Amino acid sequence: MNRLIFRKIVNGVMLFLTALCTLATVSVLFLILGYLVYNGGKSIDWNFLTKLPLPPGEVGGGMANAIVGSATMVGLAALIGLPVGFLGGIYLAEFGGKTFAFAVRYMADLLNGVPSIVIGIFAWGIAVKPMHGYSALAGAFALSLMLIPISLRTTEQFLLTVPRSLREGALALGAPKWRVISSVVVPAAMRGILTGMILGVARVAGECAPLLFTALNNNFWARRLTEPTAALPIMIYRRAIAPYDDWHRQAWAAGLVLIAMVLVTNIAARYLLSRGISVQKG
Amino acid sequence: MSAPAVVTKSARSRRIWYGLQTGDEVAHLVTFLFAACILLLTAFLVWELWVQSAESRAKFGFHFLFTSNWDPVSGDFGALPFIYGTVVTSVVALIISIPLGVGAAIFLAELAPPRLSSACTFLVELLAAIPSVIYGLLALFTLIPLMRSYGEPFLKKTLGFLPFFDGPAYGVGYLSAGMILAVMTFPFVIAISRESLMEVPRDQREAALALGATRWEATFLVVLPYARLGILGSIFLGLARALGETMAVTMVIGNDPAIHASLLAPGYTIASVIANEFAEAGSSLHTSALIEMGLVLFFVTIVVNALARLLVLATSRKGTAQSS
Amino acid sequence: MNMSMKIVLATMAAGALVGTAAAQSLNGAGATFPAAIYGKWFEEYRKAHPKTEINYQSIGSGGGITQLTAGTVDFGASDAPMTDAEIAKLKVRPLHFPTVLGADVITYNLPVVKQPLKMDSAVVAGIYMMKIKKWNDPAIAKLNPGVKLPGDDIVVVHRSEGSGTTYIFTEYLTKTSPEWAKGPGTSKQPKWPGGLGAQGNEAVAGMVKQTPGAIGYVELGYVLQNHMQSALLKNAEGEFVEATTASVTAAAAAAAKTMPADFRVSITDAKGKGAYPAASFTWLLIPSKIQDPAKKAAIVDFLKWMLTTGQQYCANLGFAPLPKSVVDLETKQISQVQ
């Protein structure tokens, strides 16, 4: 009898502890968000969104150039990286042979696992050294390298979820294979693919390490793509480690902007995805 | 449409049929080229790292990994302090996140009602989407002051006799870096462990309960061992992330290129030293040494990632095999 | 081509012309020591000359020299004059242009200590060699009789990367402390016996400001702008001098008279009453041959502006203006930029 009560107590305690663990981990998220919203909300103002950075110690500067710079580089990276992964994913799902497809998948996984700072080194060797300068192009190149495996995996994954019957039906109607892919299979999987791509873009938008020695940073507007460019994550880093209280304020505001963008895209993407799946099943 | 053309089998129809087929050929070729491009790009990356680190590899050989002198001015480089820092911070991160993460995964997989479970999992997965630099920003202004004023003095008072908690309470250092890394590995450990646990067939659980086990006993003694490969895989995935983390760690590690036993001491990781020194590396040897460390980090994360995927794959195969 | 297409093309061409005419951008990188005043200068210069934008990234003197050598920036900046070996690596000989005078201030974070602490190089060297570990150490107490020093640990903060500010600091210590000279010595990136590393003057100031009990060395401007505490350093005459624009100017007085042609001079541990011992010039590193005529014109114009209008901004930001004799010599050097 004693033994049974002991076991029951252990049961209760352990299960309670696991609930605590969940509470602890989930509450970290709320703490993070709460802090960012509180500190960032206090700090974000019109100046921040529209003005350029001011010299050290002066109050009231902004990060307009960093917002535009980030948008430019992420946009460019998406333009380069997403189609490459997309078309590669089509190959793997629709045409792939055994060994070549395995090799491509393996290499893409490898690329995905590369630490972002190492991606920065590679981009530096390819884009900064030969061009003798830091540029938005180099930064965009580094970011696109991170988008390629995400786009590839997402495309292949969702193309494979399209039922064979859809493909076979189209083929039976006499459509050539490329037509089947472009008009039937891809549109059916598009919702999932887009979700994955959007999530990937949201992820690279927050990356800082690969930009440190590719885009460097800029206190003014970058007039050409071949000039050093400001980016939000770099600005956050530089402002946070500095002593000026106004700069800390700006770092919080930038953090809020970044996290808002990341969270909104994540939530929207998942919502899209969950709706898509139910539509497909029905 | 081509159907009538095929049926008549005239020369003209064959040409149309051939033309349509080359559409396929084109599609095949184009997508093949892009897939090949990805393969070549990755191979090129590895090759570039290998070549750019040649100067350092030639000069120091394997000793590079075991010497701790980092002296850019005199041109002597050793990677040991950085490897040590990377390993220690990751281990600290895992020590914190494994119990918390697996515990949370157990709760979410076994005990929580399905809606709560998916809602909480979604929230935890959002932690993975938060950029590293924002973790650093938060750590710098919230975690560090707390650790410096309360956390570390408390540890020194209670566990100060251990060499791990020796020295001044800087606030920054291995421990704080490990803590922030732990938060960054939560999503991996929790989400994937939960999936592994959920893949364990119901009959296993039910058999244990039928034999009179409490829920905890059924979970701990039956379900957990069954899913252990997947849980291990999730831990490795979290580890792979922690090893490569740059910005959050750079902001809280203290940037001291030396080996310290104490967790309260400042240290340095491979990713941090590259982030701090790459843009201003004076000599080609310095740059080459940094790139060589990048190569080391790359290989380690590849191996850890590969192991992780194997483990996760093994569990899901085992799960589907048994339940069918 | 119809009329509307012609209009569109003409507008685009005009826009492109206006675009290129409107913006000449230069990129520079280097020392964080003068970052506050360089930031001010480049902002004010842009207001006066809207066509020129000079983007300066403070990544450390070591970084400035590296980037200049790699050709990834148009000019560099350093508080440590380039060595002959470093100059030899450049394809185009760099010209050193002193811009301002500044001081490495020993700053610390001890809210309970109200008056400035007196320190000499033995104490500073002892702290940075991790031999003096607590604030109430006898060595510090001896120099500051009557001051109640807390028993807290000293948190040493230094630079993590190659830094001209470090060069000035270590040169001062090497000249005045035999122990330091035997140990780490003078260097942009010495082997620190311990302590926390921070990236840039900014992060050292940031770290000291946020960490009670911390000590660091930063340029005077950062101390003034952030209302941080600073120590009085013992100079060659035995006086305990506060870092001010006056004491920095006094340190440069002797050197101004005997300035070498390449402007590479050290004024640490300078003789003379009221001279601050850890003061230094800081230099812009300009290539002696610039290919692009527009860039050359912009740089030359900026240098002239810097030597005249620019010097007015010094005092507010914690720097001392260049002595007149130096300004005259530099104006002559501008003609060497081809």
The proportion of chain A whose per-residue pLDDT surpasses 70, expressed as a percent, equals 97
Mean of the pLDDT values across residues C181-209? 93
Query: How far, in Å, CA of A92 to CA of A102, rounded?
Result: 9
**pLDDT above 60: residue C21:** no
> What is the reported pLDDT for B282?
73
Max CA distance (Å), chain C:
90
Strand C232-234 to C118-119 pairing: parallel
Put simply, whether C211 touches A (Cβ < 8 Å) is no
Assess whether A95 and A219 both reside in one domain. yes
Q: What is the pLDDT of residue C9?
A: 55
Q: Give B234's DSSP letter.
A: H
Q: Is A134 found in the same domain as A27?
A: no
Q: Which two tokens stand for residue B3?
A: 């159907």
Yes or no: say if B247 and B175 are a contact pair by the CB < 8 Å rule: no
Q: What is the pLDDT of residue B18?
A: 67
CB contact (8 A) between residue A243 and residue C205? yes
pLDDT digits (tens, 9 = 90+) for B258-277: 999 999 999 999 999 999 99
Beta strands in C79-198 (DSSP E): 94-108, 118-119, 155-159, 196-198
| Distances C106 to C182, C218, C241 between C-alpha atoms, Å | 22, 7, 12
Residue of C186, C199, C63 whose CA lies nearest to C121 = C186
Nearest Cα of chain C lies from the Cα of A218 at a distance, in angstroms, of: 6
Chains in touch with C (3+ beta-carbon pairs under 8 Å) read A, B
Task: Give pLDDT, residue C320.
Answer: 93
Query: What pLDDT band is residue A96 in, cutting at 50, 70 and 90?
Result: confident
pLDDT at C123 over 50: yes
Per-residue pLDDT for A57 more than 90? no
Helix C245-257 vs helix C324-334: angle between axes, to the nearest 10 degrees?
A: 60
Model confidence band, residue A95 (pLDDT cutoffs 50, 70, 90)? confident
Residue C53: which of B211, A52, B168, A245 has the closest Cα?
A52
Q: What is the DSSP string of C75-101?
A: EEEESSPPPHHHHHT-SS-EEEEEEEE
pLDDT of amino acid A197: 92
Please answer whether residues A169 and A105 qualify as being in contact, where contact means their C-beta atoms are separated by less than 8 angstroms. Answer: no
Token pair in block for residue B1: 């449409």
Rounded to 5°, the CA angle C304-C308-C312 comes to 140
Question: Residue A177 pLDDT more than 80?
Answer: yes
User: What chain C residue is nearest to B168 in terms of C-alpha separation?
Assistant: C153
For residue B132, give both structure tokens: 């590293």
Q: What residue of B is the nearest CA neighbor of A232?
A: B133
* pLDDT over 50 at C14, yes or no: no
The more confidently predicted of residues C49 and A280 is C49
Q: How far is A51 from chain B (nearest CA, A)?
A: 22
pLDDT per position as a tens digit, A136-154: 999 999 999 999 999 999 9
**C135 and C164 in contact (C-beta within 8 Å)?**
no
* Nearest alpha-carbon partner for C48 in C317, C313, C240: C313
CB-CB: which of A21, A36, A203 is closest to B100? Answer: A21
- Interchain CB distance below 8 Å, B27 and A207: no
C99-104: average pLDDT: 93
Q: CB contact, 8 Å: A116 with chain B?
A: yes
pLDDT in tens, B112-127: 899 999 899 889 888 8
Q: Which residues contact C234 (CB under 8 A, 6 or more apart)?
A: C118, C119, C120, C121, C240, C241, C277
Q: Strand, coil or helix: what is A196?
A: helix
Q: Is A128 in the same domain as A253? A: yes
Mind telling me how many Å the CA of C115 is from chain A's nearest CA?
22
SS3 C219: strand
pLDDT at B21: 63
Enclosing H/E stretch for C58: strand C52-58
Same structural domain, A101 and A115: yes
Query: In this predicted model, what pLDDT tens digit does every residue of C134-165 receive, in sequence order?
Result: 999 999 999 999 999 999 999 999 999 889 99
Tokens of B118: 């998916």
Could you identify the residue written with the tokens 């040649």?
Answer: B54
Task: Answer whether A15 sits within 8 Å of B111, measured CB to CB.
Answer: yes
**pLDDT confidence bin for B319, thresholds 50/70/90:** low
Three-state SS at C166:
helix
Q: Judge: B255–C199 Cβ closer than 8 Å, yes or no.
A: yes
Q: Is the pLDDT of residue C20 over 60?
A: no
Q: At a CB cut-off of 8 Å and minimum separation 6, what does C154 contact?
A: B168, C127, C132, C133, C134, C135, C213, C214, C215
pLDDT(B73) > 90: no
Facing C196 at nearest CB: one of B145, B266, B277 = B266
Question: What is the C-alpha separation between B114 and B143, in angstroms, rounded?
Answer: 33
* Residue C182 scores a pLDDT above 60: yes
- Looking at residue C316, what DSSP letter applies? G
Q: Are residues A12 and A78 in the same domain?
A: no
Q: Search chain B and give the residue with CA nearest C29.
A: B280
Instruction: Report the 10 Å Cβ neighbour count for B1.
Output: 9
Please give the backbone phi and psi of residue C217, each rounded to the nearest 5 degrees, phi first: -120, 120
C4: pLDDT strictly greater than 90: no
Confidence at residue C94, expressed as pLDDT on a 0 to 100 scale: 93
DSSP at B131 = -
Number of structural domains, chain A?
2
Four-point Cα dihedral C148, C154, C160, C163, nearest 10: 30
What does the pLDDT read at residue A94? Answer: 86
Whole-number Å distance between alpha carbons of C195 and A61: 33
Dig out the tokens for C337 from the structure. Answer: 């930029």
The closest of C224, C244, C222 to C233, measured between CA atoms, is C244
- Those residues whose C-beta lies under 8 Å from the C-beta of residue B72, and which sit 6 or more positions away, are B277, B281, B282, B283, B286, C162, C189
Work out the average pLDDT over A54-74. 87
Average per-residue pLDDT for chain A:
88
pLDDT band at C19 (very low <50, low <70, confident <90, very high): very low
From first CA to last CA, the distance across chain A in angstroms is 53
**How far from the centroid of its chain's Cα atoms is residue C110's Cα?**
25
Cα A147 to Cα A82, A93, A106: the distances in Å are: 6, 18, 16
Across the range C303-314, mean pLDDT stands at: 92
Do both A32 and A103 map to the same domain?
Answer: no
Q: What is the pTM of this model?
A: 0.88
Please say whether the dihedral angle defined by the alpha carbons of residues B218, B221, B226 and B228, taken in this order, is positive or negative: positive
Q: Which two tokens stand for residue B32?
A: 């093949």
Mean pLDDT, to the nearest integer, of A100-108? Answer: 89
Do A193 and A224 share a domain, yes or no? yes
Which residue in the set C71, C200, C317 is minimally distant from A132, CB to CB? Answer: C71
Mean pLDDT estimate for chain C: 89
Q: Are C202 and A56 a contacting pair at CB < 8 A?
A: yes
Find the mean pLDDT for residues B11-20.
Answer: 67
- Cα–Cα distance measured from residue A280 to residue A188, given in angstroms and rounded to the nearest whole number: 8
- Could you tell me how many residues make up chain A? 282
**A54 dihedral zone (left: phi>0; alpha: psi -120 to 50; beta):** beta
Residue A225, SS3? Answer: coil
In a shared domain, residues A100 and A177: yes
Q: How many residues does chain C have?
A: 338
List residues bridging with C198 in a β-sheet. C159
Tell me if chain B has a CB within 8 Å of the CB of A145.
yes
> CA A132, CA A112: separation in Å to the nearest integer?
28
pLDDT band for position B25 (50/70/90)?
confident
Q: What is the domain extent for residue A38?
A: 2-43
Tell me the angle at which helices A116-123 and B11-52 cross, rounded to the nearest 10 degrees: 100
Both A63 and A149 in a single domain? Answer: yes
Read off the pLDDT band of C242 (50, 70, 90): very high
Measured distance CA(A218)–CA(C316) in Å, rounded: 25
Q: What number of other Cβ atoms are within 10 A of residue A80's Cβ?
A: 17
Nearest of B77, B73, B83, B84 to residue B55 by alpha carbon: B77
The reply to whether A25 and A91 lie within a common domain is no
| Amino acid (one-letter) located at A74 | V
Is-contact C163 C61, C-beta < 8 A?
Answer: yes
The answer on pLDDT for B1 being more than 80 is no
Q: What percent of chain C has pLDDT over 90?
A: 69
Give the pLDDT mean for A238-254: 91
Q: List pLDDT tens digits, range A161-172.
A: 899 898 889 889
Q: Is the pLDDT of residue B133 over 90?
A: yes
Contacts of A110 (CB under 8 A, 6+ apart): B42, B302
pLDDT band at C31, cuts 50/70/90? Answer: very high
The pLDDT of residue B316: 67
| DSSP category for residue B45 | H
What's the rounded Cα separation, in Å, for the pair A274 and B55? 52
In the structure, what pLDDT confidence band is assigned to residue A281 with cuts at 50, 70 and 90? very low
Determine how many CB atoms are found less than 10 A away from the CB of residue C117.
21
Beta-carbon contacts of B299 under 8 Å, excluding residues fewer than 6 positions away, are none
Residue A66 in this model has a pLDDT that exceeds 70: yes
Q: What would the two tokens of residue B43 be?
A: 């191979």
Which chain C residues are Cβ-neighbours of A66 within 8 angstroms? none
Q: A32 and A53 share a domain?
A: no
From the list B24, B99, B247, which residue is nearest A237 (CB)?
B247
Place of tokens 């999992």: B121
Subunit contact A18:B43, Cβ cutoff 8 A: no
pLDDT confidence of A216, banded at 50, 70, 90?
confident
Residue holding tokens 């010039």? Answer: C281
Task: From chain C, pick out residues whose CB is under 8 angstroms from the CB of A134.
Answer: 27, 72
Q: Which two tokens stand for residue C35?
A: 């970052």
Give the mean pLDDT of C230-235.
94
Taking CA atoms, A143 is separated from A68, A73, A78, A194, C229, in Å, by 16, 8, 8, 18, 43
ipTM attached to this prediction: 0.90
Question: In the structure, what pLDDT confidence band is assigned to residue B166 with cuts at 50, 70 and 90?
Answer: confident
Instruction: Note the pLDDT of residue C169.
Output: 95
Q: Are residues A8 and A82 in the same domain?
A: no
Place of tokens 């702290």: C127
The percentage of chain B sitting over the pLDDT mark of 70, rounded to a whole number, equals 92
Q: Which residue has the higher pLDDT, A155 or B317?
A: A155
